[in-house]
A and B are shown apart, each in its own frame.
Chain A
Amino acid sequence: MVPVLLILIPLITGLALFAIPKEATAKALALFASLLSLAVMLAALSIWKDADHLVYNQPWLGALNSRFHFELDGMSQLLCLLTTFSFPLIIYSTWDNSYKDGNRFMGLLMLSQAGLLGVFMAYDALLFYFFWELALIPLYFLCSRWGGEKRIAVTFKFFIFTFLGSLLMLIGIIMLYNKAGGSFAWTDFIRLKFSFKEEAIMFSLLFVAFAVKMPLFPLHTWQPDTYEQAPTPVTMVLSAIMAKMGVFGLLRWLLPVMPTISFQWGDNFATLGVISMLYASFIAMKQDDLKRLVAYSSIAHIGLMVVAIFAPSTGGIQGVMIQMFNHGVNILGMWIVVNAIEQKLGTRKISELGGLAQKAPALTILLVIVALANIAMPLTNAFIGEFMMFNGVLGSTATKFGVAYAAAGGLTIILSAVYTLRMIQRVFYGDTNAVTQQASDVKLNVQVALAIIVVAILAVGIYPKPLLALTSDVTNQIMTRIFIK
């Protein structure tokens, strides 16, 4: 029941919003629906914990033997929680952003929420593919219609990259389907035995799709442009949630299904992760646009997750899951700040800003906490995740290069501290200038949204046990499959 509710609430709201021309009403309805989704998700975490509520399995396409099979295991719960937690914040914190045809904007946003939730819950590969695309297409329209100046070309590049990835994934899924004797079920996939060549082909096909989405070097080139050109609420969805689709895909559909290649080729992918981290960190240091800075920092963080996945260990994998949630929360906080600055001052250029702390003290305090989380300070949520990942990579028996990876990862943490702190220094401290002279503190809604994020950051940072408990079963499951195979 929960999976159906989680998908239907945003889906129906999204479609209904097209018929509600008034922007304020549309926003209110979207906010209400997203809060309702959150309520359902919280209920699933506390009251409706039994399989009756968390599993939905009905026939869909008889001829293809595909089923409407959704399940909320620990990892799904964590990511659905991230999605349902983020959407109300995204809508609420950007309440004052006004859009032409705002109702359509909100409608498409809601549709993409339905797609994202479907991706995280699907246990049927065809269903997974369906929702994967459902999440993508609204975003194409959102970016192309409401984005910045170069939006059409940039979004098109984004769409082509992801669509190519998706289609290659589809071929991989069809091959798996044939191999599984005509079944799309995840439970059938994980029982398959492959020859090395078969596994290599299918693995590569699926991997490209996930790598594009994360994004992983060298398939990342669409990302900074798209993040920059997309309207900020959409950038929030893209980076806080959608980037996790790729990581999730690796953990759900690649590692348990095709562990041999993950092992044999793991070092290559971990190296790509390392390149991603270092490369993106160095570029981030040179950025003058706040959006691009956050975009590159996101590539760096995702890179570390890739390293931890391909140098697998129980702690590392669990760290990745927690970090998916944490990274979503933290980057959402960063975007809220960027959006607030852009809305207030009309610029995102670091060189044009300065001294904001004098004018907007509340914003500054909240941002600094979010930024500290972004660079994984102890007592913040990201510390837990990154610590577990580093620990896992160092202790991984699957790779000989654990130390090297960890050293490179440590370097990126330092680099991330450099660019994040420098950004804070240049934007918030120092003297005010002509642009920031007129600034005042941000509105209450932004403060509330940021405060909620800060609470989440500290709560997970100080007491991560509930989240760890949520993911331990899935982690063990994945690790057992890897070692049994």
Chain B
Amino acid sequence: MNAIIFSAILGVVLMFSGIFFTNKATVRNIANVGMLLLLVANLFEQNGHHLFHINTNNLLHFTKFGLVFNSIAIGCTLVYMLLSGRDIEKVGVNVAEYFSLIFFVLCGVAIVSSFNSLLMLFLGIEIISIPLYILTGSDKRNLKSNEAALKYFLMGSFSTGIMLMGITLIYGAKASFSLEGMNPAVHHERDLWFTSGLLLLLISMSFKVSAVPFHFWTPDVYDGAPTVFTSFMATIVKAGAFIGFVRLFSNVFTESDYNWKLVLAIIIAATLFIGNITAVFQQSVKRMLAYSSIAQAGFMLFALYSANGLSQDGIILYTLGYSLATIGIFAVLIKMKDYTFEGFNGLARSQPLLAATTTVSLLSLAGIPLTIGFFAKYFMLASAIRSGGSLWLVVFAVLCAVISVYYYFRVIQAMYFKEGNPEIEPVTPAFRWILVAVAATVVILGVFPNLILQFLYF
């Protein structure tokens, strides 16, 4: 509850701060302090100190899983703002509003990670989405940005419609919005309405996390949006939607539910395949990252597929590892003048530190040991194997991971092994240090993932 209330309040505070402070740096500092405050508030709740006692009528249900995820989402946003805060200022004139919208998105994320009723899920998803439509179009003079915003808005509304339809059908079948009412033990009669509703929910959530075949908006929107917001959308927001997805379906899909598993397996395989194959053919690193985010979604979907304790731990690690690494790469990307692979040529010579931290992040995304990305993928594969899932799917996922090495390593090759003179905007020492901290975290958690997992158990 702390996170929801604090993020809403801070969002309003930031909105008004634009009126009182004309200096952009002041607004940014307020936002950073606010984010820190939000993190502290959530950590308090995680440790049992509830600052608010509100009866949610069972609409929200706060679990350790959700709270730990909130901390991760808020922590990653803090890292994101510290790294890219200055670039948010450059997007346009309404700086305070941008920061404010980020806080509102987090409010939505906090709701989605704790919803117990389909109504709250809908509310949370909308609270996440609407600020994002605005952020996508925030570069008003850029036609591509406008187009992306419109596309995102239209597609987003469409998927929202599908979700509402699904919720309606489920309500019609069960006379309840509650997640508990969706327990498989209760729906043994296999009501057609209920199944159709679930299918529609599956489609709309697949859309939100850009799973194939509902992914077509992703590359265009990610490409068109100002890069600094793409970073936010591709990481924290996506992870938030995933947590909602997992919470929703971990109640519904059981290990024995063969039909659902087959549907999911096909979605996973298609997501992994299309995401990875198309990423190989990209010429721009930004678009490559957009497709790679689709491919990573394929791996995250394993959390739904196996639906056991291991996958719950895994999705937490995955969201953290994926978000940190992607934020790190985007922070560097934003500083580049040229987003193509050639633009990275020779970066190691002129900016060894930036190249090294980017490399660590890329290795993590590829799932190489000694980085958190390895354990993220490990947990996903292990959970699928433990749930007795199909071996072909696991082997297929591994083959796709090998394909992903191709495009991630293209960036490493460009930075280290090719000659070039990349143009890069000046970076502050603070920026470098935070980047080093991110890379160090990726490695430390790659050797001792227990450091984060123990939060789930105490």
- Establish whether residues B450 and A164, one from each chain, have CB atoms under 8 Å apart when the complex forms: no
A170 within 8 A of B: yes
- Establish whether residues B405 and A159, one from each chain, have CB atoms under 8 Å apart when the complex forms: yes
Q: How many A-B pairs fall under 8 Å by CB?
A: 70
The CA-CA distance from A322 to B313 in the complex, in Å, is 45
- Establish whether residues B417 and A160, one from each chain, have CB atoms under 8 Å apart when the complex forms: no
B369 within 8 A of A: yes
The CA-CA distance from A175 to B383 in the complex, in Å, is 11
Our pick among A63, A134, A168, A177 for the contact of B369 (Cβ within 8 Å) is A134
- Establish whether residues B391 and A201, one from each chain, have CB atoms under 8 Å apart when the complex forms: yes
- Establish whether residues B405 and A61, one from each chain, have CB atoms under 8 Å apart when the complex forms: no
Residues on B lying within 8 angstroms of A by beta carbon are 313, 363, 368-370, 378, 381-382, 385-386, 391, 394-395, 398-399, 401-402, 405-406, 409, 413, 416-418, 448-450, 453-454, 457
| A–B pairs, 6, beta carbons within 8 Å | A63-B313, A63-B457, A134-B369, A137-B363, A156-B409, A159-B405
- Establish whether residues B370 and A63, one from each chain, have CB atoms under 8 Å apart when the complex forms: no
Q: Looking across the interface, which residue of chain B has its beta carbon closest to that of A177? A: B382
Our pick among B395, B405, B416, B450 for the contact of A62 (Cβ within 8 Å) is B450
- Establish whether residues A152 and B417, one from each chain, have CB atoms under 8 Å apart when the complex forms: yes
- Establish whether residues B385 and A178, one from each chain, have CB atoms under 8 Å apart when the complex forms: yes
- Establish whether residues B385 and A175, one from each chain, have CB atoms under 8 Å apart when the complex forms: yes
- Establish whether residues A144 and B417, one from each chain, have CB atoms under 8 Å apart when the complex forms: yes
* Chain B interface helix/strand/loop/mixed: helix
Our pick among A160, A177, A178 for the contact of B405 (Cβ within 8 Å) is A160
Q: A133-B369, A134-B369, A160-B406 are in contact. Are A171 and B398 (CB under 8 A)?
A: yes
The CA-CA distance from A52 to B385 in the complex, in Å, is 37
Q: Looking across the interface, which residue of chain B has its beta carbon closest to that of A144? A: B417
Give every chain A residue within 8 A of B416 (Cβ-Cβ).
141, 144-145
Q: Looking across the interface, which residue of chain A has its beta carbon closest to that of B449? A: A61
Give every chain A residue within 8 A of B405 (Cβ-Cβ).
159-160, 163
25-84 of chain A: CB within 8 A of chain B: 61-63
A442 within 8 A of B: no
290-320 of chain A: CB within 8 A of chain B: none
Q: Besides A62-B450, A62-B454, A164-B402, 10 other CB < 8 A contacts?
A: A61-B449, A63-B457, A141-B416, A144-B416, A144-B417, A160-B406, A170-B378, A174-B378, A177-B382, A178-B382
Give every chain B residue within 8 A of A167 (Cβ-Cβ).
398, 401-402
Name the 4 nearest CB pairs between A and B, nearest first: A133-B369, A167-B398, A164-B402, A174-B382
Give every chain B residue within 8 A of A164 (Cβ-Cβ).
398-399, 402
The CA-CA distance from A272 to B159 in the complex, in Å, is 54
- Nearest-neighbour CB distance to chain A for B360, whole angstroms, equals 11
Give every chain B residue within 8 A of A220 (Cβ-Cβ).
none
- Establish whether residues B368 and A133, one from each chain, have CB atoms under 8 Å apart when the complex forms: yes
The CA-CA distance from A152 to B413 in the complex, in Å, is 7
- Establish whether residues B450 and A160, one from each chain, have CB atoms under 8 Å apart when the complex forms: no
Q: Looking across the interface, which residue of chain A has its beta carbon closest to that of B394? A: A171
A130 within 8 A of B: yes
Q: Looking across the interface, which residue of chain A has its beta carbon closest to that of B409? A: A156
Q: Per-position contact with B for A120-161: 1 when CB-CB < 8 Å, else 0?
A: 000000000110011001000100110000011000100110
Our pick among B369, B385, B450 for the contact of A171 (Cβ within 8 Å) is B385
Q: Looking across the interface, which residue of chain A has its beta carbon closest to that of B416? A: A145
- Establish whether residues B368 and A170, one from each chain, have CB atoms under 8 Å apart when the complex forms: no
- Establish whether residues A174 and B381, one from each chain, have CB atoms under 8 Å apart when the complex forms: yes
- Nearest-neighbour CB distance to chain A for B413, whole angstroms, equals 6
- Establish whether residues B395 and A168, one from each chain, have CB atoms under 8 Å apart when the complex forms: yes
Give every chain B residue within 8 A of A160 (Cβ-Cβ).
402, 405-406
- Establish whether residues B450 and A159, one from each chain, have CB atoms under 8 Å apart when the complex forms: no
Give every chain B residue within 8 A of A159 (Cβ-Cβ).
405, 409
The CA-CA distance from A160 to B401 in the complex, in Å, is 10
- Nearest-neighbour CB distance to chain A for B331, whole angstroms, equals 23
The CA-CA distance from A152 to B391 in the complex, in Å, is 33
Our pick among A63, A151, A163, A174 for the contact of B453 (Cβ within 8 Å) is A63
Give every chain B residue within 8 A of A144 (Cβ-Cβ).
413, 416-417
The CA-CA distance from A299 to B81 in the complex, in Å, is 53
Our pick among B369, B382, B413 for the contact of A130 (Cβ within 8 Å) is B369
- Nearest-neighbour CB distance to chain B for A128, whole angstroms, equals 11
- Nearest-neighbour CB distance to chain B for A101, whole angstroms, equals 10
Give every chain B residue within 8 A of A137 (Cβ-Cβ).
363, 368, 370
Q: Looking across the interface, which residue of chain B has its beta carbon closest to that of A147? A: B417
- Nearest-neighbour CB distance to chain A for B320, whole angstroms, equals 15
- Nearest-neighbour CB distance to chain A for B321, whole angstroms, equals 15
